[in-house]
A = this chain, B = another copy of it.
Amino acid sequence: MKKELFKGSIFLNPVPAVIITSKNREGKVNAFTVAWIGTVCTNPPMLSISIRPERLSYEYIKETMEFTVNIPNKYQVREVDYCGVVSGRKINKIEQLNLKIENGYHISAPFLVDLPINIECKVKTIIPLGTHDLFIAEIQGTHIDKSLIDEKGKIHFEKANLISYSHGEYFPVEKMAIGQFGFSISKNKIINEKFKHIKFYEEYRKDKKKRKKILKKHKK
């Protein structure tokens, strides 16, 4: 694989694209989109978002130290984009987009009811980095669309039609998994059978034609 070297820049892809809701002290609500988000700790459960200080949501979140992460599905990508490019200083985006909100359970910020996953967070630390400040927050609770939960209580995010953001574009995530955590060393027959067509790269490299064949088989 021949490579070209680029200067330091943002090439981590794909990343999530989510709508953040927050409420200021006066009770005003805003929604804006971030892609600079990540899980930062398993226990206590924490995530971080990065925000430019010029943003209205920066003010709101700094006032109350609370926000909610709303994860969209692929039918909501226009809303995601709109909340990322239009400022809450000019337009009430929630009204404009007719987004239904409901009061948070653990925090004062509301969540977007029609987005399948809503994660309520309390900010613990804010670290200025440059163009963006990093908000590190503890997860208080999560609302998940009931239709994604089976009778055994297992959550099926693969049915949620989630999206990814990559280099300026939004993409759906495919529905069929090509592996699960630990499958590469699994001794479980069901897991091994399920992913037996997924090879080590070594094998794909040996035979480029095989790659496409395996891929086609997977799509069926």
Which residues on A are within 8 Å of B, measured CB to CB? 1-16, 18, 35-48, 50, 69, 71, 74-82, 84-86, 97-98, 105, 113-114, 116-119, 125, 127, 129-132, 134, 136, 138-147, 149, 155, 157-158, 160, 162-164, 166-185, 198-202, 204-205, 211
Number of copies: 2
A187: min CB distance to chain B, Å: 12
User: Which of B6, B129, B138 meets A141, CB within 8 Å?
Assistant: B6
User: Which of B3, B47, B176, B200 meets A171, CB within 8 Å?
Assistant: B176
Select the residue from A18, A113, A114, A171 with max chain B CB neighbours within 10 A: A171
- A134 near B136 (CB under 8 angstroms)? yes
A202: min CB distance to chain B, Å: 6
Cβ of A177: which chain B residues have Cβ within 8 Å of it?
Answer: 169-171
Specify the main secondary structure of chain A where it touches its partner.
mixed
- A169 near B184 (CB under 8 angstroms)? no
A85 CA to B142 CA in the complex, in Å?
27
A155 CA to B6 CA in the complex, in Å?
11
A-B contact pairs, 29 of them (CB 8 A): A2-B145, A3-B113, A3-B144, A4-B143, A4-B149, A5-B141, A5-B142, A6-B142, A6-B143, A8-B140, A12-B18, A13-B157, A14-B162, A38-B40, A40-B134, A41-B129, A41-B134, A48-B48, A75-B204, A79-B200, A80-B179, A81-B179, A81-B182, A81-B184, A81-B185, A84-B181, A86-B185, A114-B205, A173-B173
